[in-house]
Amino acid sequence: KTKIKNYILGWRILRIALFTLLGVVLICTAGLIAFFVIRNQRNRKQLSKGPNKIILLPDDIMFVMPKGSIFTSKVNLKNEAHERSNASIRSEEIQAGKTARYNGDLVEVKKLHIGPLSLRTKVMRELRQLKDLRHENVNTFIGLFIDQNAPALIYEYGHRGSLEDILKKEEIKLDWNFKWSMLNDLVRGMRYLSNSPIRCHGNLKSRNCIVDSRWVLKVTDYHLNEMYSLQNAPRQVDITDLLWMSPEHIRTSIIKNDVATVMTSSAAGDVYSFGIIMQEVILRGPPFCMLDLTPQEIIAKIKKPPPLLRPSVSKQVAPPEYINSMKQCWAEQAETRPSFNDLAQSIKLLNGGKKVNIVDTMFKMLEQYSNNLEDLIKERTTQLEEEKKKTDKLLSQMLPPSVADSLKSGKAVEAVWYECVTIYFSDIVGFTTISALSSPMEVVDLLNDLYTMFDSILEDFDCYKVRKKINYTKELSEVGSSFYCTVLCAKLLISFLMNK
């Protein structure tokens, strides 16, 4: 009996201990769950409020409606009933990558075609990684705009536009230092991204390289593939965007009706894209611009080699080292392509290891432009002086020197009284008959000889020619002999008629 009692007592104690332990485990588990829930809620509040805010709501963003290059109309995206008519406009503005204002500053908007957004822990972790990226050649990620049907990534605004825009503007003269500085900025930004937690860009092209007001190039729209992957949504791009994509990623993409669904991305693929941008910069043309092929034909040839299709760049348009680095980026095997750490050294050597500041380059260009402008001003001044002399000469022939001088100096011309003047009137007798018997050129030659003779007489006798009428009547004021003129005119007309 004693053993049975001890056994029952021990079993009760064991059950009490087990239930106590189970209660402690349940309490701890509930505590941990509550802790994580509270922490996540607190983190989400911190992400949507305060200086480190990542989640942006419609009240935070003021979209800008451009009219030409001047931003005139602003639409505040709120979910109020009276503003729902702006939903289509809002969607178009975001889809086109239009501009908005955040805290009074212009920002770029990159729409995510994923529908309603799920803010899971992995998504929040990814957004925090993007927010923590800081480099002078990486466009700063500001936050994620949450809207009912149009979530978007918000980046800093590039005042000079994209690299693609600058290459298209022929009025912007790009010398070698300018091009080298742009490529150097791009390599530095990509080297930072490749060594950061996000590892690769995944969508590198000249359109995703913006230039700020200080002419500093920055990489933007990075890590989009991962954002789509976390939302279990396919990322679809136009087939022309595949011109920057590496062959191994083109072959894994699904292409239908000129729309490609991108499945993979890698750092080696970014290197290939950088090589295509090098071709754009050196030739100032789109990818494969030297080939007379459509984007569809180019993608088809890249997807199914041989032969391997790559841009053709002449060795005369760039230094040999530049051409070699560019071709290394185009290598068919991804593992044989250089890394961005290697490219940073190669690009640096292209300029002799010297650091070139784009601002200094711009000042040199402005100085050269100023010198050219000074030479142009001197040339134009000389031409102006010559034209002024011709004008003065013509004016002195048309008017008396005293009158011409008064007009040039802006003074009023006063009438002059002469005690004695002689006015000579002349007419070509039988001019109608002469014209009927002569060809037009013969009449012109006659009048030209007659007026030349009159001008020489005026010069000999210091006379002033007042007016020449279209009917060839000549009015002269002279102090010489009119008989001398009459005799010469008669001789001239008789000679003309004898020839006829």
* CATH, residue 217: 1.10.510.10
Q: What pLDDT does 361 receive?
A: 66
> Where does 85-212 have alpha helices with state H?
87-95, 121-132, 163-168, 176-194
Check if the beta carbon of residue 274 is closer than 8 Å to that of residue 285: no
Tokens (6 digits) for 338: 């250089």
Per the listing, tokens 């860009």 go with 201
Q: What pLDDT does 311 receive?
A: 94
Q: What pLDDT does 173 receive?
A: 81
Q: What pLDDT does 480 receive?
A: 34
Pair 149, 101 in one domain: yes
Q: What pLDDT does 438 receive?
A: 87
Q: What pLDDT does 336 receive?
A: 95
Check if the beta carbon of residue 187 is closer than 8 Å to that of residue 154: no
Pair 433, 318 in one domain: no
Phi, psi of 147 (to 5 degrees): -130, 170
Which of 272, 278, 250, 265 has its CA nearest to residue 338? 272
Pair 328, 376 in one domain: no
Whether 416 maps to a domain, the answer reads: no
Ordered strands of the 235-238 beta sheet: 235-238, 259-262, 254-256
Pair 173, 273 in one domain: yes
Whether 103 maps to a domain, the answer reads: yes
Pair 236, 351 in one domain: yes
**What is the rounded distance in angstroms from the CA atom of residue 301 to the CA atom of residue 324?**
23
Check if the beta carbon of residue 259 is closer than 8 Å to that of residue 164: no
Burial class of residue 74, CB neighbours in 10 A (0-12, 13-18, 19+): exposed
Q: What pLDDT does 43 receive?
A: 63
Q: What pLDDT does 67 receive?
A: 44
Structural domain of 401:
365-408
How many residues belong to the chain?
A: 500
β-sheet bridge partners, residue 109: 154
Phi, psi of 410 (to 5 degrees): 80, 15
Could you say which DSSP state residue 336 is in?
G
User: Domain total for the chain?
Assistant: 5
Pair 295, 372 in one domain: no
The DSSP string of 369-402 is: HHHHHHHHHHHHHHHHHHHHHHHHHHHHHHS-HH
Is the sign of the CA dihedral 27, 29, 31, 33 positive or negative? Answer: negative
- The CATH number covering residue 74 comes to 3.30.200.20
Q: Which long-range contacts (CB under 8 A, 24 or more apart) does 39-44 make?
A: 40/121, 43/124, 44/119, 44/124
Whether 323 maps to a domain, the answer reads: yes
**What is the rounded distance in angstroms from the CA atom of residue 111 to the CA atom of residue 315?**
40
- The CATH number covering residue 471 comes to 3.30.70.1230
Could you say which DSSP state residue 337 is in?
S
Whether 415 maps to a domain, the answer reads: no
| Peptide linkage before 151 cis (omega within 30 of 0) | no
Whether 413 maps to a domain, the answer reads: no
The string of pLDDT tens digits covering residues 241-297 is 999 999 999 999 999 999 999 989 999 999 999 999 999 999 999 999 999 999 999
Pair 169, 281 in one domain: yes
Pair 142, 221 in one domain: no
**What is the rounded distance in angstroms from the CA atom of residue 56 to the CA atom of residue 115?**
16
Whether 414 maps to a domain, the answer reads: no
Pair 232, 350 in one domain: yes
Integer CA distances (angstroms), 213 to 148, 159, 206, in order: 33, 5, 17
Could you say which DSSP state residue 213 is in?
T
Ranges of residues in the chain with a pLDDT under 70 are 1-5, 7, 39-48, 50-51, 65-97, 149, 353-366, 368-369, 464-500
**Boundary of a domain, candidates 107, 124, 157:** 157
Q: What pLDDT does 62 receive?
A: 85
Pair 41, 61 in one domain: no
The string of pLDDT tens digits covering residues 320-375 is 899 999 999 999 999 999 999 999 999 888 877 666 566 666 666 667 667 777 88
Q: What pLDDT does 196 receive?
A: 94
Pair 251, 298 in one domain: yes
Which of 341, 240, 220, 323 has its CA nearest to residue 286? 240
**What is the rounded distance in angstroms from the CA atom of residue 210 to the CA atom of residue 162?**
4
Whether 417 maps to a domain, the answer reads: no
- Helix or strand holding residue 435 (H, E): helix 431-437
Check if the beta carbon of residue 109 is closer than 8 Å to that of residue 98: yes
Whether 297 maps to a domain, the answer reads: yes
Tokens (6 digits) for 450: 């007659």
**Boundary of a domain, candidates 137, 157, 177:** 157
Give the end-to-end CA distance of the chain in Å, rounded to a whole number. 169
Pair 207, 233 in one domain: yes
**Boundary of a domain, candidates 157, 178, 201:** 157
